[in-house]
Structure 1
């Protein structure tokens, strides 16, 4: 069994790393698709990540030396169904029952079945597929794996990567069928997508984690905007002048243009459109509750820029890198310090403000509510509060 355990460790370590790398997008997709974050389905996503990496490890690793592999490759395609049974009988002739059940030939067949049991369960319960569709998906994935082996990872090797075996497809499909059949039992604790979507439009309490997630999404929006605008303003100059090394760094005018553009895209436009919520707040179904029902332009811009503008300024100025010196360096440092204080205060204030509004809402006397609440959908006057 030791020859079949190292792949499991690769799946555990690699799958866990991939899961945390895509955790943010997973939570965002859940919030938009189901109207809330579902812890059981987050755990399911972790399981899928680990299983996917383990499946690749078991079917494609280790990668052999190409020359040695092609020199010894033979019988790259096995199309005789059921030959594995004959192989087990031949290799275990004269063995006791226990020895037969623990032989490499027998365990190879059993593990090919076991390997796809999680796939069937995932397809049936996590992906909400029917019994037949789950089994068919298992068969198709198994065929894809065998084709990858037969084609030498689609041309990466000049010869067959491993033996493409029809019995592997049969046993893998059998495993997927077993997993699909037992999925309602073993994964009964996981809510289906249909159940979650049914309550998608129901307003929910505003939690600290939801507010913090909105802040993270706003920070991501700032980074994306700065990256895109940097490409727009800096790349043409670099291509035209052939600049290299430190000369590739944005100049002060470019940094100011990037920062101003980001303020317009991430702060001004969201503040003036619709409810006035930031991009991150909109993504998690939050919106301001203005004291006068809609909020003046000045109040909207003030609330939107109080935390965002210092953060954008610091992030933009950080691109100056080695170009900053003298007065520019001093101003950059002061802006960075001010931004740190404001952003930290905004984050820390969330648990201690009513409705978990945070700094910008409290300072401007603005309330916060779920965007799906009946009062907002009906367009009724706000019951907003004025206290900070």
Structure 2
């Protein structure tokens, strides 16, 4: 349990930090995928996300757990090759006991640490064996130098050992990963050049709506903060006003693109192809975002607590948007449509991707 606990803690911490970072970068990352490739490719998302998670876990295993007192014990570099084997034989002799020796287990774990590195470099990044071995050695050396310098001086004393055997094991792991990569089929290979999927899919439209809402919410919060700080007048329901500005006024200036639609490479236009029809866009805005201020005003007029009214209005708006995403009722009634922004599409047409887009 001591061995398991020693590895479980840093891996658990790595998952936590990765998920926290993912919550922050997920929306801009997905928007960039649409702008860059004109589609959301699950294989690409899986490969890139799992690669970053692997690197996070690897660094967590190298650095953690952080010590309360880094100077509690003297840690000197170990520069003798195969010292792990000499220590294991001295402690356990030969046979099964040798295989269970902590020094042997640690050496195997260090091989496993960079095994995925070799797999990714061959399957996803398409690197050759020499490049993989050199990069594996370089990454391992970075690990060891970080430990030798006490995380580059962050701690007063070294708390993890610089070990030449770790360099050997890590580099061997990268090599084995490259050799066995053809068997690791759940890591995708980069696909051949393909014509990108130009469809305006439900996930793409949903992401644009989410970006518009979050953007309007942030502007409304900033507006409220400035108004309160400097005692400036503030209209009721500032979120409704910022939603109106970002999803009706802005498209009139940008040729039918809200900020969210611009981010994912789509735009609005009338059925005849005209992009700046104020009346059509106003009807569309009323159908998409209008329920929020309508419900909010109704509940506040009924004497509902403002916080409760805002929460209920947001929940009902979310349910309404789900209905619109699946039926496109707002486009039928407003005689508008959502199409791929050709400027973004032309950029994506020269990109290399893989199949399986949604």
Q: Could you say which TM-score interval applies, normalised by the shorter chain?
A: 0.7 to 0.9
Task: Assess, with a 3 A threshold, how the Cα gap between structure 1 residues 172 and 358 changes in structure 2: closer, same or farther.
Answer: farther
Higher relative contact order (CA 8 A, sep 6+): 2
Match of 1:368 among 324, 334, 338: 338
**Structure 1 residues without counterparts, runs of 5 or longer:** 238-249, 318-324, 378-388
Task: Assess, with a 3 A threshold, how the Cα gap between structure 1 residues 314 and 79 changes in structure 2: closer, same or farther.
Answer: farther
Match of 1:225 among 214, 219, 228: 219
CA deviation after TM superposition for structure 1 residue 73, in Å:
1.1
Look up the SS of the partner of 2:281 in the other structure.
helix
Aligned to 2:194: 199
Aligned to 1:90: 90
CA deviation after TM superposition for structure 1 residue 112, in Å:
0.8
**Structure 2 residues without counterparts, runs of 5 or longer:** 348-358
Q: Distance in 2 between matches of 1:302 and 1:27?
A: 29
Match of 2:320 among 326, 337, 345: 345
CA deviation after TM superposition for structure 1 residue 118, in Å:
1.0
CA contact (8 A) 2:244 2:285 kept: no
**Does 2:274 align with 1:294?**
yes
**Normalised TM-score (structure 1):** 0.71
Q: Distance in 1 between matches of 2:233 and 2:152?
A: 49
Aligned to 2:55: 52
**Does 2:94 align with 1:103?**
no
Task: Assess, with a 3 A threshold, how the Cα gap between structure 1 residues 257 and 227 changes in structure 2: closer, same or farther.
Answer: closer
Task: Assess, with a 3 A threshold, how the Cα gap between structure 1 residues 40 and 261 changes in structure 2: closer, same or farther.
Answer: closer
Q: Distance in 1 between matches of 2:171 and 2:252?
A: 53
Aligned to 1:170: 168
- Offset from partner CA, 1:274-322 (integer Å, 9 cap, x none): 2x1323233334333422221523223442454346658999x9xxxxx
- Offset from partner CA, 1:328-381 (integer Å, 9 cap, x none): 988897787666545532322322x2xxx353x2320223333459x999xxxx
Number of paired residues?
A: 340
Task: Assess, with a 3 A threshold, how the Cα gap between structure 1 residues 104 and 128 changes in structure 2: closer, same or farther.
Answer: same
Aligned to 2:234: 253
Aligned to 1:321: none
**Normalised TM-score (structure 2):** 0.76
- Offset from partner CA, 1:2-27 (integer Å, 9 cap, x none): 50455246525742773452443443
Aligned to 2:157: 159
Task: Assess, with a 3 A threshold, how the Cα gap between structure 1 residues 376 and 79 changes in structure 2: closer, same or farther.
Answer: closer
Look up the SS of the partner of 1:287 in the other structure.
strand
CA deviation after TM superposition for structure 1 residue 223, in Å:
2.9
CA contact (8 A) 1:120 1:138 kept: yes
Q: Distance in 2 between matches of 1:290 and 1:58?
A: 55
C-alpha RMSD of matched pairs (Å)? 4.0
CA deviation after TM superposition for structure 1 residue 55, in Å:
1.8
Task: Assess, with a 3 A threshold, how the Cα gap between structure 1 residues 174 and 305 changes in structure 2: closer, same or farther.
Answer: farther
Q: Distance in 1 between matches of 2:315 and 2:58?
A: 44
